[in-house]
Structure 1
Amino acid sequence: MPFQFKMKNTPTCIYIFWLALASSNQFINAIIWNGNTVDLAPVFCDISSRIIIAVNIAIPAASLCMMRHLYNVLSLRAMQWSAAQKRRELYINLAIGLGIPILSILSYYMVQTSRYAIFEDIGCDSATSKAALSILFQTSWPLFVGVVTSVYCVLILHHSAKNYAEVRLYLKTADTKQYIRLAILALINIIATISLSLWIIIVEVQPENLGPWLGWAAEHADWDDIFVVTYEEWNSCLSQASRWFTPMCAFIFFAFFGFSNEMWAGYGRSFHAASSKIHSWASWVRGTPKRAEQSVLPIQSGKGPSDLPMYHTSQSTRHSLASAFLPDFSFAPFDSAISLEEKYPTSSAGTLSVGSLSWDEYLADRDLLSRPATTYHFSPLDDSMQSFSYTQGQIPQI
């Protein structure tokens, strides 16, 4: 549906809409009334029975819209349409694909004997009178639409044979496979619709199945009496064919359009989006969100170019064993970095002091003057002391 809607293919969108609605309705009915005829959902049956009435004519009407679309394309009329003509064609397709089914629902009330009927294993269905008027208002509609669709099919074949060169030139520059699939699908629907409609009409015109129309009051006298039919009563070849008509149309449509290159591309995008959502959800459940990349920013400790750079990361500071024996040279945060001179100011004589003690007093107090010098190697990726090594000699006096 999204691809056909993007291509502004109104006839195919109408066809998909009615197939989806009919299949969903039939699926729900088959589940609820599997092996029983109990009136479980009266309101749902009121809606469901009218959907069935609409679908009986909606699928042939959608096939008519598709055949008209093919005729307009192959006759090259659509190439010369203005915006107003395209809008008018849209209204015509909506009138055929949606207006005719709605009109059939309204006419159904003329021959409706009760609210609905319940068939075992099928579900809710229409309760149509056996009067001859029901053939005019209900049964003959799909046959009439199928005949009109067949006329368009003949016109397409005639125009293609008459203007073969122009049609062939156009098909070279257009999506030929798309039109071929539409044509074959419409032909199959024509054959199935006309055959099934003729079969139903022939059965209904039999003397034992046909009666007079008794009038408005008589036809609606038993309005609240729900007609119940068991599986043994309705099971026949005609009933089974009517039951499987909609699923057959859905399977055929998917066989023609569900494996095209455009649909495979759409399947790939949908699968990728679904897998990304599932992966994000699984990561959230496990509580292991993605680790943010840690950036390292060099920060100049002072104003002069010779000052050593200071490094800041988002990690918390880790303290090593050596940090317990040395002054606090920990790095300041990014927004509050200070220079070494500001943290350990020098005296007026130019010697480095730690608090109120000079550097020599500080080292002597900690008995560090007699110890071997220790060289610390700092890594710019970590603000802790990664390793240290001993060198010979004494710490020089400052």
Structure 2
Amino acid sequence: MKVTGPSARQVVITDLCICLGFPLFIIGLAYISQGNRYGIFEDIGCIVEIYNAWPAYPTFLMWPLVIGLISSVYSVLTFRSFYSHRSQINEFIGSDACPMSSQRYTRLMVLASTEVMFTIPFCLWLLYRNIKNIVPYISWDNTHSYFGVIFAFPSIIWRNNPD
């Protein structure tokens, strides 16, 4: 389906907001709870340093779970639509206009559902693990007091720490 005119502009604006605007918004929110720019872990690389206080949860740590929940809603709606319009979809997939076979379409649906099945439990587990070690929020200055410092962690230190 080809989109032209003002609706094409609306589609581009919507895509830019989703693909650029939302990530830039999250990056801006991440600064609120970012203790320093990053930490360097030997054998791993650079990792973002988030100060584990209550502001980190609504500004940074909850977003993967929110995106997973939104994906699960879309997944359920897609499966529901797929089953209610199954005959039309099979007719379209069987035609020459569709480059995708029904087997490939089924694999794509299974792949999308596994993403949803693993994202939400993994995010909940990470939130559970992080919330056990939460520290009290003192102030903006305290959170950003070491922002210019880049910490380096040798592998002997982080491999021997179970947390």
Bin of the TM-score, shorter chain as denominator length:
0.7 to 0.9
Shift in Å, 1:107: 1.0
- C-alpha separation in 2, matches of 1:124 and 1:167: 46
Q: Does 1:234 align with 2:162?
A: no
Aligned to 1:187: 113
Say which one has the larger Rg.
Answer: 1
Q: Deviations over 1:133-164 (max 9, x none)?
A: 11211111011011101111111111111122
* Relative contact order, higher structure (CA 8 A, sep 6+): 2
User: Which amino acid in structure 2 is aligned with residue 227 of structure 1?
Assistant: F
Letter of the 1:111 partner, please give it.
Answer: S
Aligned with residue 213 of structure 1, among 121, 127, 137: 137
Aligned to 1:201: 127
Closer/same/farther in 2, CA of residues 231 and 90 from structure 1, 3 Å limit: same
Q: TM-score when scaled to structure 2?
A: 0.81
- Please list, as runs of the form range in 1=range in 2, the aligned pairs for 1:159-308 lying within 5 A after superposition: 159-173=81-95, 174-177=98-101, 179-206=105-132, 209-235=133-159
Q: 1:100 to 1:117 in 2, by over 3 A?
A: same
CA distance in 1, matches of 2:157, 2:31: 25
Q: How many residues in Structure 1 have an aligned counterpart in Structure 2? A: 157
State the 1:92 CA deviation.
2.4
Shift of 1:87: 4.3
The offset of 1:190, in angstroms, is 2.2
The structure whose residues are more often helix, as a share, is 2
After superposition, the C-alpha distances for 1:74-123 in whole angstroms (9 at most, x for unaligned) are xxxxx5x7424354334323322332222211111101111221111111
C-alpha displacement at 1:198, in angstroms? 1.4
Alpha-carbon distance between aligned partners in 2 of 1:183 and 1:98, rounded to the nearest angstrom: 26
Determine the C-alpha separation between the residues in 2 that align with 1:114 and 1:235: 22
Over aligned residues, Cα RMSD in angstroms? 2.5
Q: CA deviation at 1:179?
A: 4.0
TM-score (norm: length of structure 1): 0.36
The structure-2 alpha-carbon separation of the partners of 1:196 and 1:230, relative to structure 1 and needing over 3 Å to count, comes to: farther
Which one-letter code corresponds to 1:224 in the other structure? G
Number of the residue aligned with 2:27: 105
Q: Which one of the candidate residues 117, 137, 161 is aligned to 2:59?
A: 137
Q: Structure 1 CA distance, aligned partners of 2:37 and 2:55?
A: 18
Gaps of 5+ in 2: none
| 1:130 CA drift (Å) | 1.1
Q: Distance in 2 between matches of 1:235 and 1:87?
A: 51
Q: State the alpha-carbon separation in 1 of the partners of residues 157 and 107 from structure 2.
A: 39
Identity rate of aligned residues, in percent? 29
d(CA) in 1 for partners of 2:159, 2:108: 34
Residues 93, 190 of structure 1: alpha-carbon distance in 2 compared, 3 angstrom cutoff: farther
Structural mapping, 1:112-131, within 5 Å: 112-131=34-53
The answer as to whether partners of 1:127 and 1:227 remain within 8 angstroms in 2 is no
Q: Does 1:153 align with 2:79?
A: no
Structure 1's 232 and 136: CA in aligned 2 closer, same or farther, altered over 3 A?
A: farther
